[in-house]
Amino acid sequence: MAHFAKLDENNIVTQVITFSNDEVNANGGDLSIEAENFVAARHPGTWKQTSYNNNFRKQYCGIGFTYDSVKNKFIASNSYASWSLDENDDWKAPVEEPTEEQCNYTYNNEPFKYIWAKWDEDLQKWTSLHGDDSVYQWDGTSWSPIN
């Protein structure tokens, strides 16, 4: 299956649909203007092909992604105001996410792991549950309890 993303006037993805590979190949092939026009003739709008297997245009897109026409790639939507795009056009938090190794700890002489690390925009830190159900924050180098 070939996947196509519908773009609004700001190059934001509003819909993703599929066509058979045979139809795309018969109408210019992958990444062709002819294939985009073929899709637009059936579904009015501006369309760009996206790769379900991430083989081109950086990644498979979803609704809310942006198509960057200069870089010819889809960029994921940003969930947090404090995050910025890195050199690979991936969103990064101002504090690096803890690695799996950094999530391991000992509690009552038992091995545990901080679980479900998630970004807290208000704290500007990663937070996670501790073994006693308290919440801890990651500052980029260590975990500490949230008071």
Q: Residue 58, Cβ neighbours under 10 Å: how many?
A: 19
- pLDDT over 90 for what percent of the chain? 74
Among 29-38, 80-89, 129-138, the minimum mean pLDDT is found in 129-138
Q: How far is CA 56 from CA 31, 48, 70, 96, 127, in A?
A: 9, 11, 14, 27, 34
Asked whether residue 119 is domain-assigned, the answer is yes
Residue 9 confidence (pLDDT): 98
Q: Is the pLDDT of residue 132 over 80?
A: no
Q: Is the pLDDT of residue 88 over 80?
A: yes
Written as six digits, the tokens of 116 are 């479900």
Residues 60, 105 within the same domain: no
Residues 70, 37 within the same domain: yes
Asked whether residue 51 is domain-assigned, the answer is yes
Residue where one domain finishes, among candidates 43, 77, 111: 77
Number of domains within the chain = 2
Asked whether residue 34 is domain-assigned, the answer is yes
Q: pLDDT tens digits, residue range 67-82?
A: 999 999 999 999 899 9
Q: pLDDT tens digits, residue range 30-67?
A: 999 999 999 999 999 999 999 999 999 999 999 999 99
Residue 16 confidence (pLDDT): 98
Residues 66, 28 within the same domain: yes
Q: Is the pLDDT of residue 105 over 70?
A: yes
Residue where one domain finishes, among candidates 61, 77, 93: 77
3-state secondary structure (DSSP) of residue 30? coil
56: exposed, middle or buried (C-beta count within 10 Å: 0-12, 13-18, 19+)? middle
Q: pLDDT tens digits, residue range 11-30?
A: 999 999 999 999 999 999 99
Residues 71, 119 within the same domain: no
Amino acid identity, position 134? S
Can you tell me which residue has the tokens 């760009």? 48
3-state secondary structure (DSSP) of residue 40? helix
Asked whether residue 82 is domain-assigned, the answer is no
Asked whether residue 50 is domain-assigned, the answer is yes
Asked whether residue 38 is domain-assigned, the answer is yes
Asked whether residue 86 is domain-assigned, the answer is no
Asked whether residue 29 is domain-assigned, the answer is yes
Domain region containing 114: 101-145
- What pairing do the DSSP bridges indicate for beta strands 135-138 and 73-75? unpaired
Residues 9, 59 within the same domain: yes
Residue 131 confidence (pLDDT): 67
